[in-house]
Structures are given as C-alpha cells and as structure tokens.
Structure 1
Amino acid sequence: MSAYLDHAATTPMRASARAAWIEQSERGGNPSSLHTSGRAARAVVEESREEIAGALSARPSEVVFTSGGTEADNLAIKGTYAARLASVGARRLVVGGIEHHAVLDPVEHLVKAQGAEVTWLEPDRCGHILVDDLRAAITPVLASANSANSADGANSADGADGADAGGVAVVSVMWANNEVGTVQPVAELAAVAREAGVPFHTDAVQAVGQLPVDFAASGADLMTVSAHKVGGPVGVGALLARRDARLVPLVHGGGQERQVRSGTLDAAGIRAFAVALTEAVAERDVEAKRLTVLRDRLIGSALGLELGISVSGCWTEGDATDRLPGNAHLLVPGCEGDSLLYLLDAAGVECSTGSACQAGVPQPSHVLLAMGYPEAEARGALRLSLGHTSTDGDVDAFLAALPGVVERARRASGAA
C-alpha cells in the first residue's frame, strides 16, 4: 500500500462524508423543484448551507455554492472585476505573486481579453505578502478614499468606491500557500483594502481545516473554499461573499445561487461537503498538533540525512501558525523534481512537485521563483503534504526511500 503524502492536492474522503453522500444520492430530487422530492432536497441544501456557514463564521446567505475552488476563484476575480468596471471604472487588479493558477489564470485572461492592469505583490523569502507592500500598491486609492471620506464626514465603502473611479477593482491574496504552506496576515491585508474601499478576496482552500478560518473576523469580502481538501467529494465548493459584494455572474441559467451562479445544485455533494467540513473544523486543533509533530519529524529527519536538502520558505519547529501544519516543502540539490516524484512513486510514496508543465517541458515553480529561489534550485522541489489519514508509517516510508531515490535522481541528472 502506498504512503500517500499529497493531501494538498486532494485528501481521501472521510467515512462520514461518504456515508452522507451515498444516503442523499439515493434520495434524488432537484432542489429547485417544487414537488416533495425537490423540497426535501432543498431542505438538505439549506441545512448544509447553515452548517458550512457556522463552521466558517459566516451567514448562510453568504455561502454561494460552486463546482469547486477553481470556479469560486474565477467568480471572485472575474465577477468582481466586471462589477467594479461597470460601477466605478476600476480596471486594476492587485494580486499576490504566489497565488494558485485558479487566480493567476483569470487575472491573465482579464489582462489579455479586457485590458485589465495588474500590480503583482511579490513575497519575501518566506513567502509572506507584506502589508506595507499592499498599502503602497493602493496608496493613490487610499489617499483618494480618505479625502472623499473627510469631505463626506463618513468612512463608508460607498464613499471610497466613488473616489476609486479608474482605480483598483479587487485585491486577491491567498490565506495559505498551496506549495510552501506560508500563512498570510489576511486580516491585516483585508483591513488595508477595506480602508481604500476595495473588495478583498482570499483563497482559503488550503487553510480551512488546518487553521482557524473565521470569515466574519477576517474582514475579507470574498473567500474561496473547496470540499475535497477537507475530506469531502471532488466537484463541490463555495465562494463566501458578503451580502453587499457586487458580482457579475459568469454562468447564466436559473440563477440558483443569489443570481450570481446558475446550475442545478448537487444536494448529495453539498451534504457531504458540510459533513466533512464540520468534522474537519471540530478536529482541527487536535489534528493540527498531530500533523505538526509528523511534519517536523519528516523535515528534521530529511535534513539529517546529509543529502544537502533544505526547506523552502521558513520553518520553525512546533509552529503551526506561520506555516501550514501539514506542509513540508523540500529542495533537493542536483535533482529534477519530476525524477524524484517518479522514483518515489515507484518506491510506494506518493507526493508532488511544485513544477508545471508547459509544451511538454517541466517548468520550475512560479512560487519559488517569486520567493527569490534560483531556477536551478527551484527545479529540485518536493511537496509532501499531510492530512487526516497520515501516519508515522507514511513518514517512515518516505524517509526510508529518500536516500536511494536521491542517489538515482542525481545519477540521472549527471550530478552524482
């Protein structure tokens, strides 16, 4: 049996979520239908919406169901951009340089297809987006907003919007990075955006279930979550959107979700999502401590093998606030990440690299490059991510396989 160390990609479905999914899928019924089966399915959806909202400290009306994190990110970026462009002429995006491609690609699409402008917030060596950098990126907006508020005698978002014509449409910074696990100061970043009257979006897909995620307290206007990262099914997620968030829909049809997202709701998937999320949040504190211990043993032991391995980003033993408790991201010199991955897979260890493949040629991680790592160093990246099924045996299997794998990978690259 393989040692599964790729929970950041997807985590196995929880037994409770699987049971809930099977139970609801056997009932059937379209939640938009008015007959008995439809009303029963609608009740399941709304009860699940309340549970998800409660687990994330949101209002039920703020939970907009989607097909997953990618759709939610697209709706947040494209939908907010279109609304702000129409209302105040704002066409600039301010975005973290280490975002997931579910954010990066919609931004690039808006730049190429609609003439949007983008200001990239580059991280420090640990992967943090600095609050001062965000403030500097929207300083003209802040100055204009403060001037308008002083004249109006109020500090309202509407006043800031009026002053922000032609300025920033949306700020997007992820809660925790999917590759190196760095946790961002979301509340502080959101406060800067709010001061300027600019909507703030955060992709919290990796954070939920590992960190305390409180939508209300975060100050974010929009937040992305996904079921399959917390032990729910693939194909369902949500965009949490404050009631005053302005969004232009990407998909038109029945307008099922607040008129901003159309499509028949997957009652079984939503029910399983709610069950998995509720369980993950309830177990979070205990599980975070357990995963931190496993992560630290994995990292510490890998560094102790005298293979020249280093940790990407910043790591402090025992810390589960600045870096995701389940994230171990290693750099192995003299190796290609893909070679390491395939050799580990052959040895029964499943993990990931941070690389992307373009035109059949592996490319180093944009996250590591943005953090200042040289391309040659970034190519030897391995991401090992732990989750609710991870055990000491999984870590042991990785550590046992690693020396031989590194030796073979270096021979293949000519570095041995």
Structure 2
Amino acid sequence: MKKVYIQSDSMITSLGQTTEENFNNLRKNITGVKMHHTGNIYKELPLSLIDKESFHQKAQAIIEDFGSYTFFEQIMLWSVLDAMAKSSIDPKSKRSIFIISTTKGNVELLKTQEGRQSNEFALWHSAKRISHYFGNPNEPIVVSNACVSGVMAVNTASQLLQSGAYDHAIVIGADVVSDFVIAGFMSFMALSSKPCKPFDDHRDGLSLGEGAGCLILSSEHPSDMSIIGGANANDANHISGPSRTAEGLFLAMQNAMNEAKISVEDINYVSAHGTATMYNDEMESIAIQRCGLQKTPVNSFKGYWGHTLGASGIIEIIASVQSMHENQLIKSLGFEGKEEGEAINVITENTQKELKTIIKTAAGFGGANSAIILQKA
C-alpha cells in the first residue's frame, strides 16, 4: 500500500483565521470560549464563535462570489484556499478527491419555507458547491457520523490514497453554532453554564464551538508528517450514551495501532476527544487505560475552542501536527484535577517533549468511535 502524507493544512476558529494564529494562541493558553447571548432560546451560554466581522472583511476580497455562499460554506472555502496556497497539488485533477466532514451543515436554512423546499440545506449540495468552486471533476464524498466525522473523514481519505484510487485528498471539516445545535444539546442536558473542563472531576458539560479545517493529503508528494494507521469501530451501545466499558474506542485504538505496527511504548501523546461531559470523558479514560496508555500525556483542545462537532477531528489533528512540529505538549485547559479512580496523565502545563508518534481519538453518538495515528519523520 502507498504511504499517505500530510502536505498542508489550515483552520479557522474563534482563536484565529489560520493554523499559525490558532497555535500561537494555544501556546499562550488563551481560550476562545466566551459568554454569548443566544437569542430566543437561552439568555447566555459559553460559546466559541468566529469573529464574523473580521472574517467578512478579509474573506469577501478573496472568495469569489462571496455573498452567494452561506457562512458554513464560506469558512470551508477559506480554509481550503489557505491550505491550497501552501500545497502543490492540482484540485482540478481527476486524481484529487474532495471529502467533507460535517454534522449539521446548513441546517439553519430549514427555518424558512423557502429553505425547506430547496436542496441548499443538504450536505451533498454544500459539498458539490465546494468541489465545483475548485473545478474538481469528481463527486465529493460527505462523511457525517456524529462527532467522529472529522477523524473518520481523514481515515477514509487515507484508505482511498493507500489503495491508489486517488493520489490526493482535500479533507474539509466544518460546523457552525446555530439555534438548532444549541437546542439539541440542551435537550440532552449536555451543555455547561461555564467554560468546559475536559477530564476534570467537576466537569458538567461541553461548550459548543464553530470552525473549519482543511487537511491536504497526498501519496505522491512526501512530507515529514504521515498517517501510519487508522480505524473506526461502533459498539452500538446507545443512541447518545457511550459504552461503560469503552469497547468501541478501545477497538478503534487497538486496530489503529495494529495497522501502524506499533506498540503503546511508541506513542508519545494522546490527543483526546475530551468533550467535558461526565460520560464521554469517563469512557475515554477507560479506553486509554485499557490500551495501556495511562502514563502517556493526554490533552483535550476543547477548552480552547469548544466542541466544533464535524470540524473537531480535523482541527484537532491540525493542532496535534503543530504540537509535533514544535515538540510541545499543550496544557489541557480547564483541567484542575482528578480525585477519584485510576487517573490518566492529563497535561497540566505546556511542556517540551520529543513527539514522533501520536494517536488522536474521537467518539460520537450512536456508538461511533475513531482513532488515527500520525508519525513524524
């Protein structure tokens, strides 16, 4: 099988409009999660929102026909354009494939009668608009599988490139905060009234965020960063609750390590899903321990930009890649301590450490779980 390399990347979140801006703020332990008024549903919630005024000022001069795209589509285009500027691949080639990861897309368009009667809210419609913008001749692929969508999309791209079906993949993840998303998570009583605290004993729910990320993968243009393993597993535990034994995530992590042909001793860092809900973080802790990684440094980036849903796996892979380039572990923001049970090694301060091989995890509704392993040359 062919080897798959990460050629370039880009992201936009509340912390910045490029990968570099985001990582600089991560290194400073700055959070983009702030209290915001949420309109008609709830008075105030901690959310991580993109500065739309600043974004519009810059993006409308760069994105052609800017006003014809929704905000969701605009941030995808922005991230791809920035990643493309650092890449040598041809997006118009038949050997290039676009893969879009999202959970809700343009769901807000369903608020109006006109929106409900058009295809504009459909995920495939947005995917085609993005791929057509860049002149790609192939049908784009949409991955929408709850909160594992991002990592699963990268695993899908990696498999397609390994098999030789394509030479390059443009993998994009995006989601935006909307009334629909807020109401949905509120109905699960999953949102915290304060900025989230992943893995902390006193965590009480997640903080929602919005963002977009793009990873450009290639089997033809080597780089110093490669994907050496990946796996998805579904334990079908519950429509919204994770497995109490972490069976699905454990299998995904084990299978990813088996494909990479590495042992737990080779892994320098775990970039966890870490949503700050009671059950998710407990499940992830169990999976990490079952894999024998309880002493390996672990963090969650969600204290910095919240849970960005379909974008989360991709922007967190990008942040992890930056950590590997800089050999720097980033503090898991919001974590203050774990008093009960067998603790995992959550990162409490930014630390310099040689990072050669890492594992990124994701978990989602419906028993979905994914893991991916990255290695630096």
Question: Given the two structures, how large is their TM-score scaled by the length of structure 1?
Answer: 0.25
Structure that is richer in strand per residue: 2
Which is greater in Rg?
1
Q: What TM-score, normalized by structure 2, do the two folds share?
A: 0.26
